[in-house]
Amino acid sequence: MDIRDARAADVPAIVEIYNQAIREGDAVWRDEEVDVADRSAWLRDHQDRGQPVIVAEDDGEILGYACYSSFRGFSGYDLTVENSVYLSPAAQGRGLGTTLMEELIDRARAAGMHVMVAGVTATNEASLRLHARLGFTEVARMPEVGRKFGNWLTLVYLQRILD
């Protein structure tokens, strides 16, 4: 297993993983799938901002990815980032999310970030457990702030102070 920076050649696999999350779950609160052009621009934007997108590769197959992004657009939040982690169904439950997140946290620390936050759907128990194991604490629960598949969703915010 190799954890490394994402490259342009990884974008089709990232698109497939992300679109599967859109189609089959409520981790991503959007209905429209993305295409390679969209995710290519997203990757370039992250790279231009110095915000890592990392992938887990095994025998040439991308099994998952993680990234962090700016939390909000105001200068007061410059040292706060929000993480995302997505795994292919075959990679779930094997500790890969932990491996990706540990690397992402290390990179955020090395970049001088102070806080990492996560916005997780309340029904996504696997992600809530993952973040709790990694030292994140729940700081807010926002009932019925979004919808997917005709259902109201609750958003849970978690955070971890990095330094």
59: Cβ contacts below 8 Å, ≥ 6 apart: none
What's the pLDDT at 24? Answer: 94
Q: Two tokens at 39?
A: 């995710």
Angle made by CA atoms 18, 82, 124, in degrees to the nearest 5: 55
What is the pTM assigned to this prediction? Answer: 0.95
10-65 confidence digits (pLDDT tens): 999 999 999 999 999 999 999 999 999 999 999 999 999 999 999 999 999 999 99
Q: Is the pLDDT of residue 4 over 90?
A: yes
Domain extents in the chain: 2-161
Q: What is the pLDDT confidence band of residue 133, given thresholds at 50, 70 and 90?
A: very high
pLDDT of residue 73: 87
d(CA 144, CA 123): 12
Q: What is the DSSP string of 78-115?
A: TTEEEEEEEE-GGGTTTTHHHHHHHHHHHHHHHTT--E
Tell whether the model's pLDDT for residue 157 goes beyond 90. yes
Confidence (pLDDT) at 8: 98
What is the CATH superfamily name and number for domain 2-161?
A: Gcn5-related N-acetyltransferase (GNAT) (3.40.630.30)
pLDDT tens digits, 72-130: 989 999 999 999 999 999 899 899 999 999 999 999 999 999 999 999 999 999 999 99
Token representation of residue 155 = 């958003």
